């Protein structure tokens, strides 16, 4: 998977790594903590000079993670991110271009036989752990981490993915300094929905963070 990080200061700031050899681009950014923050919007086009509008908008919301599933995993895609406040003011645009090299059919992994959420490893963990899941078809996938109070700690996946095996890393240190993060039990929940947004799979597992 191509992983492209988007760091947020007063305005969104996009950076990208090297091209991917798979069909997904993961975009991650920080921000939305201002009192008058309303939402983020993400746009995509083949043309790096494109003008963002509703026709090329692929996401609007408050989440800071988006996974883009590409129908054609070749060439390059340009992404632009904006932030809007409650008064309707929109931040200046930042952009990133991602070069996708693509994969051939004989390089693809076999399609998993079932949708499944695995136990994280290692468990207990410090400083990080990996969460693996499998999909039998292209699906909308939401993977969240909760604390014991039911509060969402981190969104690890929020978007469409093709069939395959996937792995996400949960590292509490990305939330804040380790001394500010409580040790103990955390939960991770996987929701998988089909193209009609009908749930195909829901499961929650428990993990232990130790300092």
User: What is the mean predicted confidence (pLDDT) over 104-111?
Assistant: 54
List, in order, residues 6 or more apart from 126 with CB less than 8 Å away.
209, 210, 211
Instruction: Give me the residue label for tokens 């130790």.
Output: 210
Query: Which of 100, 128, 162 is the endpoint of a domain?
Result: 100
Contact in structure between 152 and 126 (CB atoms under 8 Å): no
Indicate whether 105 belongs to any domain.
no
Q: What is the CATH number of the domain that holds 165?
A: 2.60.40.2550
Q: Is the pLDDT of residue 16 over 60?
A: no
d(Cα 211, Cα 183) in Å, to the nearest integer?
Answer: 6
List, in order, residues 6 or more apart from 45 with CB less than 8 Å away.
56, 77, 78
Indicate whether 108 belongs to any domain.
no
Same domain, 68 and 143: no
pLDDT in tens, 155-168: 999 999 998 889 99
Instruction: Give me the residue label for tokens 């908008």.
Output: 57
Task: Tell me what the pLDDT averaged over the chain comes to.
Answer: 80
Q: What is the CATH number of the domain that holds 71?
A: 2.60.40.10
Q: Is the pLDDT of residue 183 over 90?
A: no
Task: Identify the domain containing residue 199 by its residue range.
Answer: 116-209
Q: Token digits for 125?
A: 């963990």
How many domains does the chain contain in total?
A: 2
User: What is the mean predicted confidence (pLDDT) over 42-56?
Assistant: 89
d(Cα 130, Cα 141) in Å, to the nearest integer?
Answer: 17
d(Cα 144, Cα 136) in Å, to the nearest integer?
Answer: 20
What pLDDT is recorded for position 203?
Answer: 92
Same domain, 120 and 81: no
């Amino acid at each position: 998977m191509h992983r492209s990080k988007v760091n947020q200061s007063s305005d969104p700031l996009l950076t990208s790594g090297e091209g991917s050899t798979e069909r997904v681009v993961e975009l991650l950014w920080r921000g939305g903590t201002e009192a008058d923050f309303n939402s983020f919007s993400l746009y995509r086009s083949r043309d790096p000079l494109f003008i963002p509008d509703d026709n090329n908008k692929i996401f609007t919301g408050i989440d800071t993670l988006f996974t883009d599933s590409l129908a054609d995993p070749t060439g390059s895609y340009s992404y632009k991110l904006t932030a809007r406040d409650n008064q309707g003011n929109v931040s200046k645009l930042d952009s990133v271009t991602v070069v996708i090299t693509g994969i051939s059919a004989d390089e693809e992994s076999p399609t998993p036989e079932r949708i499944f959420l695995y136990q994280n490893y290692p468990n207990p963990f410090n400083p990080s752990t990996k969460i693996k899941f499998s999909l039998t078809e292209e699906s909308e996938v939401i993977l969240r981490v909760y604390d014991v109070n039911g509060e969402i700690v981190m969104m690890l996946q929020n978007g469409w993915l093709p069939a395959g095996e996937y792995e996400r890393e949960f590292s509490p240190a990305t939330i804040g300094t380790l001394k500010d993060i409580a040790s103990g039990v955390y939960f991770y929940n996987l929701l998988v929905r089909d193209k009609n947004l009908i749930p195909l799979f829901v499961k929650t597992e428990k993990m232990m963070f130790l300092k």
